[in-house]
């Protein structure tokens, strides 16, 4: 938290604080990684403060350079609006949306004229921008840094001016942006916000931060069985961290779990099950975690296909001369995010049809050979083809 003791000073104002969280809609799902900071916003909301949730529909088109080693591709307005629509339907899993001040930063950023932009750029120097670790690294390595990327921290920081934030929440990778917000608020005659950062959650690979682009994520609106199965795959070393950041488990209890795992008195598999049950219950209701565990046991321990497999028809548009290319079928059924991912799953023997692995040499199948069979991806996704 910056500055130290700043929160106490804000609370001493004796009024509900305006707690800002900005999220750029650059992907379709709210992940457990995003949920870390959203859950913190909910804590402020429950304490009687005003959650100001900003959908960065304008800044998403600029692109956040935080932690990037290359200039990221720009998203179109239609792409951003589509992602925003998906995300807005998910925030209610964590926040009481009837008590949220929901804003889009296109409200104040799109109408800006050249004079407004020049005033904004005059508030910060290139030298200050190059204090950012990612910018400094790219500058040392002669990697391109666009002027548009320099604009992102300023635009994001201006959000704090526009909504008169008392506190801004963000991940630790957002600290520079949050501090720019404090500087701009001073320039605009406002009392600077408190910068409160939350830890970044490692993804399922246990190495890189949870990211939809990396595929190492858990979405909070994914089916309960999917969430449970994914959490069972995390490295043992992350059990305590996921308990702390993804559930309401107290610090002292997390310490007990970690010490028990270290001494061998607690079994990692059982602790993962408890973690997975807790997370599923949070997003799907009490008892959903136990039901997902039963499904997991059926599929993984008994190696059986579940009884309640969803039935889906093969889209006619995929049929070419009576045959269907399986990678495209996986994408169309929502079992893979792209043709490339589908091919990779097949190469890794992660796709089964009627109980038999689909191989790269047999990834084009006659339509008649698909109907009535169960298509399986990994150990958690099943579809019966009709």
CATH number of this structure's domain 310-385:
3.10.290.10
Contact between residue 177 and residue 151 where contact means Cβ atoms under 8 Å apart: no
- In DSSP terms, 18 is beta-bridged to 50
- Whether the CB-CB separation of 11 and 17 falls below 8 Å is answered with yes
User: What's the pLDDT score for residue 66?
Assistant: 66
Domain ranges of the chain: 6-198, 224-301, 310-385
**What tens digit of pLDDT does each residue of 335-377 get?**
998 888 898 889 888 898 887 888 888 889 988 889 888 899 9
With cut-offs at 50, 70 and 90, classify the pLDDT of residue 304: low
CATH superfamily for 6-198 is: HUPs (3.40.50.620)
Residue % of the chain over a pLDDT of 90:
62
pTM reported for the whole predicted model: 0.75
Spatial separation of the C-alpha atoms in residues 34 and 94, rounded to whole Å: 11
- Mind listing the pLDDT tens digit for each residue in 244-298? 999 999 999 999 999 999 999 999 999 999 999 999 999 999 999 999 999 988 8
Q: What is the pLDDT of residues 199-220, one digit of tens each?
A: 999 999 898 999 888 889 999 9
Q: Residue 141 burial (CB < 10 Å; 0-12/13-18/19+)?
A: exposed
Distance of alpha carbon 380 from alpha carbon 299, whole angstroms: 7
What is the enclosing helix (H) or strand (E) of 368? helix 367-370
CATH hierarchy code of domain 224-301: 1.10.240.10
Do 310-385 and 224-301 have the same topology in CATH?
no
| 121-130 mean pLDDT | 88
């Amino acid at each position: 938290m910056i500055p130290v003791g700043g929160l106490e000073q804000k609370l001493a104002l004796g009024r509900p604080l305006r707690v800002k969280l900005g999220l750029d809609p650059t992907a379709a799902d709210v992940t457990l990684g995003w949920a870390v900071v959203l859950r913190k916003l909910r804590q402020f909301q429950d304490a009687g403060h005003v959650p100001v949730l900003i959908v960065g529909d304008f800044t998403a088109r600029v692109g956040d350079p935080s932690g990037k080693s290359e200039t990221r591709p720009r998203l179109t307005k239609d792409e951003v609006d589509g992602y925003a629509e998906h995300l807005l339907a998910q925030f209610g899993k964590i926040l009481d949306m009837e008590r949220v001040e929901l804003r889009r930063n296109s409200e104040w950023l799109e109408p800006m004229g050249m004079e407004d932009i020049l005033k904004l750029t005059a508030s910060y120097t290139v030298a200050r921008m190059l204090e950012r670790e990612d910018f400094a690294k790219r500058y040392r390595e002669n990697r391109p840094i666009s002027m548009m990327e320099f604009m992102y921290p300023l635009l994001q920081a201006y959000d704090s001016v526009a909504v008169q934030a008392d506190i801004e929440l963000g991940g630790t990778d957002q600290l520079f942006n949050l501090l720019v917000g404090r500087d701009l608020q001073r320039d605009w005659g406002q009392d600077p916000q408190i910068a409160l950062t939350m830890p970044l959650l490692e993804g399922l690979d246990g190495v890189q931060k949870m990211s939809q682009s990396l595929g190492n994520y858990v979405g909070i609106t994914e089916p309960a069985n999917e969430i449970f199965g994914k959490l069972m795959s995390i490295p043992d070393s992350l059990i305590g961290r996921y308990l702390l950041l993804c559930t309401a488990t107290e610090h002292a209890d997390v310490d007990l779990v970690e010490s028990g795992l270290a001494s061998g008195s607690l079994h990692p598999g059982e602790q993962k099950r408890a973690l997975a049950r807790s997370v599923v219950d949070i997003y799907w209701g009490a008892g959903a975690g136990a039901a997902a565990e039963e499904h997991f046991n059926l599929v993984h321990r008994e190696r059986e296909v579940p009884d309640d497999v969803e039935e889906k028809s093969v889209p006619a548009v995929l049929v070419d001369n009576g045959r269907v290319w399986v990678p495209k079928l996986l994408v169309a059924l929502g079992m893979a995010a792209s043709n490339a991912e589908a091919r990779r799953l097949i190469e890794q023997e992660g796709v089964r049809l009627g109980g038999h692995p689909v191989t790269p040499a047999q990834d084009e199948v006659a339509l008649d050979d698909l109907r009535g069979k169960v298509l399986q991806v990994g150990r958690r996704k099943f579809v019966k083809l009709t």
